[in-house]
């Protein structure tokens, strides 16, 4: 029998960034697929090495209605970020067909797309284009000047800012990207704002008088996730609206042009606190006082989709959307599922709009005329849904899929849950304990090609939501504050023992694996128990002290998670006591280490320390380093590297679990 391979990933398609038409009856979205770059080069007349395949992501814009769909853009480039003009007659989008992303305009009545920006003015490309509601302007972000080539030239780099690198970006630019205005009729482009600190997002006010944007007061505030909202008129300087000093994202201006909704977290709350939907509004009559904020989603679940899935290539919008001046639609995570909920300003008890407890809504847009969203389940790949009608036709993997079996476990807070994907026709299957990252994320009903592949290869794939996971109430999420490696470890092992007791699994052939926080927990478990026959630790953490000074979130992460940080001598004993590296002498489990060189979230020095320590201890260890990739390799990394990663997993498991 021919076993499925990691290359089955190449046959899948990846819809993203669904955008609803102004009348609510059509959708534009991005469809990505994997193709051999060499073959595309040959088709365009360029010389190509067909004996050396280069599988890469390529993407086009698709236009769909309930009755039909058609591809709007073609070619070898990557076309993304479609945005409807307010009258619904054209689409602005980004494309890298000439190198870096530039802004294009496509008339939907016929004709070719024309470039609105070019590499002569924007050699580093543009991003985040948005129409003004009156249709006269497009605003976008773009850095000025040429790209930083100091490393290529071998020049020294002088660092003075607290945060100078970021996962997915490597070194941050010395100057934040500017905000630009483009007059659609004339084509004139003017710099609107050169911000002192980076603009994380912006949104037009409904009367087109200007934009609302999110930034920080200074570079230290930005590094510490202390954000504010600002008003920027068409003419004039920005004005700070809030005194928030905490997370603000997913801006959604109210139709009255005064208020706005957003995902936010109070400044008194930590990273383990769920973000929620707030409405910000002017306070007082003078207009000079900071905006006040009222929480709108009065339920015990976080805003947005936080359920894992590995088909999420591209952008997945999840900002709240006003259906009227009274009603708001938003995305939230409940248990291992997520969906759309509706809430009114007069009654803040959220009501389900599109929620199935065994499905995940990955992203959406909506208006008074309808909604479009991307949905998936554990056994169904991502598809685009327009007003409840499936308008995409993405193929499933070319192997049989396993239906998850729910397994419950209990602890002091009540019942937790997890799932098992069982292989077909096996009486005593080897079992894999998978641990998610975060730790404040969730496994559940998202589609996981990786898990399904492993089940199809004969492994029972066990995955759960221990304390610290989201979607089960704030008490469940926050219960691990200050005690990583204690009750969370108890939960994952308790769950795994339930799997072994309830299902035909081989307890003598087991492995533990996980990424990010899941990599921390993998290292923690193998340094505290010899019960597993193999381990795979991916983008891991092993030394909490060195992590604090090398991670792009290390400046405050341990304060938020554990109540201490690496730069205070009073806290280092506590951090070292929770570091797997302290207990590395107890590790006996053969360990595969997977890490990306440009991972600045969990820096590669963590993997290097773990590898060296294991080798010095005589533990069988294999260290696989991926160039150019970051923390997102397993979810949206280059497809050939994603396949190599899975090949390494399977070879290690087959070897040590006797497959």
Three-state SS annotation for 380-402: EEEEEEECCEECCCCCCCCCCCC
Name 183's bridge partners: 137
Do the Cβ atoms of 439 and 469 come closer than 8 Å?
A: yes
Q: Cis ω on the peptide bond leading into residue 171 (within 30° of 0)?
A: no
Of 497, 427, 421, 504, nearest to 463 (Cα)?
421
- Cα gap 403→118, rounded to integer Å: 49
In contact, 73 and 93? CB cutoff 8 Å: yes
Output the CA torsion sign for 213, 214, 218, 223. negative
- Residue 135, by phi and psi: left (phi above 0), alpha (psi -120 to 50) or beta? left
User: Residue 188: how many CB atoms within 10 A of its CB?
Assistant: 9
Indicate the SS3 state at residue 263: strand
User: What's the token pair of residue 33?
Assistant: 């697929």
Catalytic residue among 440, 445, 595, 631: 631
Measured from the Cβ of residue 604, the count of other Cβ atoms closer than 10 Å reads 20
d(CA 19, CA 30) in angstroms, rounded, equals: 9
Beta carbons of 308 and 436 less than 8 angstroms apart: yes
Distance between CA 180 and CA 184 in Å, rounded?
12
DSSP category for residue 270? -
* Three-class secondary structure assignment of 166-223: ECCCEECCCCCCEEEEEECCCCCEEEEECCCCCCCEEEECCCCCEEEEEECCCHHHHH
299 given a catalytic annotation:
no
State the Cα torsion 625-631-636-642 to the nearest 10°: 20
- b (16+ CB within 10 A) / e for 258-292: ebbbbbbbbeebebbbbbbbbbbeeeeeeeeebbe
Name the active-site residue from 516, 527, 579, 596. Answer: 516
Q: Is 276 part of the annotated catalytic residue set?
A: no
Provide the CA 294 distance to its chain's centre, in angstroms: 27
367: closest CA among 17, 21, 28? 21
The sheet with strand 114-115 has its strands ordered as 79-84, 90-95, 102-107, 114-115
Tell me how far apart the alpha carbons of residues 559 and 147 are, in angstroms, rounded to a whole number.
35
Q: Is 370 left (phi over 0), alpha (psi -120 to 50) or beta?
A: left
**Residues linked to residue 405 through DSSP beta bridges, in sequence order:** 420
User: CA nearest 545: which of 557, 536, 537?
Assistant: 557
In 3D, which of 307, 299, 203 has the Cα closest to residue 249?
203
Residues noted as catalytic: 516, 631
């Amino acid at each position: 029998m021919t076993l499925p391979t990691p290359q089955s990933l190449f046959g899948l398609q990846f819809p993203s960034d669904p955008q609803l038409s102004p009348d609510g009856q059509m959708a534009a979205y991005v469809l990505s697929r994997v193709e051999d770059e060499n073959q595309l080069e040959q088709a365009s007349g360029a010389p190509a090495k067909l004996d050396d395949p280069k599988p890469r992501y390529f993407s086009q814009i698709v236009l769909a209605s309930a009755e039909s769909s058609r591809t709007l853009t073609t070619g070898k480039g990557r076309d993304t970020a479609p945005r409807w003009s307010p009258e619904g007659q054209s689409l602005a989008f980004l494309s890298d067909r000439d190198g870096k992303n530039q802004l294009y305009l496509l008339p939907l009545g016929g004709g070719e797309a024309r470039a609105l920006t070019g590499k002569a003015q924007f050699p580093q490309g543009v991003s985040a284009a948005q129409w003004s509601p009156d249709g006269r302007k497009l605003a976008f972000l773009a850095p000025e000047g040429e790209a930083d080539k100091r490393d290529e030239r071998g020049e020294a780099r002088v660092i003075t800012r607290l945060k100078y690198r970021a996962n997915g970006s490597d070194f941050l630019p010395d100057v934040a990207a500017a905000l630009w205005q483009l007059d659609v009729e004339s084509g004139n482009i003017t710099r609107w704002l050169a911000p002192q600190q980076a603009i994380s997002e912006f949104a037009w006010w409904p009367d087109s008088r200007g934009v609302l944007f999110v930034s920080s007061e200074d570079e230290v505030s930005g590094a510490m996730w202390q954000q504010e909202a600002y008003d920027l008129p068409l003419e004039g300087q920005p004005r700070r609206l809030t005194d928030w000093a905490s997370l603000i994202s997913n801006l959604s201006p109210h139709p009255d042009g005064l208020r706005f909704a957003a995902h936010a977290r109070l400044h008194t709350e930590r990273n383990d606190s769920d973000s929620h939907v707030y409405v910000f509004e002017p306070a007082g009559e003078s207009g000079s006082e900071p905006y006040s904020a009222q929480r709108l989603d009065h339920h015990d679940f976080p805003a947005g989709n936080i359920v894992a899935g590995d088909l999420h290539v591209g952008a997945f919008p999840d900002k709240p959307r006003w259906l009227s001046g009274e009603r708001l639609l938003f995305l939230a995570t409940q248990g291992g599922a997520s969906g759309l909920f509706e809430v009114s300003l007069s009654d803040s008890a959220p009501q389900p709009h599109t929620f199935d407890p065994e499905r995940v809504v990955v992203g959406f847009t909506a208006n008074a005329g309808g909604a479009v969203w991307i949905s998936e389940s554990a056994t169904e790949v991502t598809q685009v849904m327009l007003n409840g009608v499936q308008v995409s036709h993405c193929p499933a993997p070319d192997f049989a899929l396993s239906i998850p079996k729910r397994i419950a476990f209990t602890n002091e807070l009540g019942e937790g849950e997890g799932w098992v994907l069982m292989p077909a026709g096996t009486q005593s299957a080897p079992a894999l304990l998978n641990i998610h990252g975060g730790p404040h994320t969730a496994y559940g009903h998202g589609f996981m090609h990786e898990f399904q592949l492993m089940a199809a290869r004969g492994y029972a794939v066990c995955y759960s939501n221990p304390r610290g996971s989201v979607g089960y109430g704030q008490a469940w999420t926050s219960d691990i504050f200050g005690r990583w490696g204690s009750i969370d470890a108890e939960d994952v092992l308790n769950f795994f023992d339930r799997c072994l007791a309830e299902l035909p699994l081989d307890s003598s052939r087991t492995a533990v694996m996980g990424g990010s926080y899941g990599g921390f927990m993998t290292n923690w478990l193998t340094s505290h128990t010899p019960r597993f026959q193999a381990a795979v630790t991916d983008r891991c953490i092993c030394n909490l002290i060195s992590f604090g000074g090398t991670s792009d979130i290390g400046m405050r992460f341990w304060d938020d998670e554990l109540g201490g940080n690496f730069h205070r001598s009073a806290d280092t004993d506590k951090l070292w006591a929770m570091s797997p590296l302290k207990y590395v002498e107890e590790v006996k489990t053969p360990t595969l280490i997977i890490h990306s060189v440009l991972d600045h979230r969990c820096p590669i020095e963590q993997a290097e320390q773990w590898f060296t320590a294991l080798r010095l201890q005589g533990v069988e260890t294999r260290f696989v380093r991926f160039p150019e990739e970051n923390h997102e390799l397993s979810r949206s990394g280059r497809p050939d590297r994603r396949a190599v990663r899975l090949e390494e997993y399977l070879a290690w498991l087959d070897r040590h679990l006797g497959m």
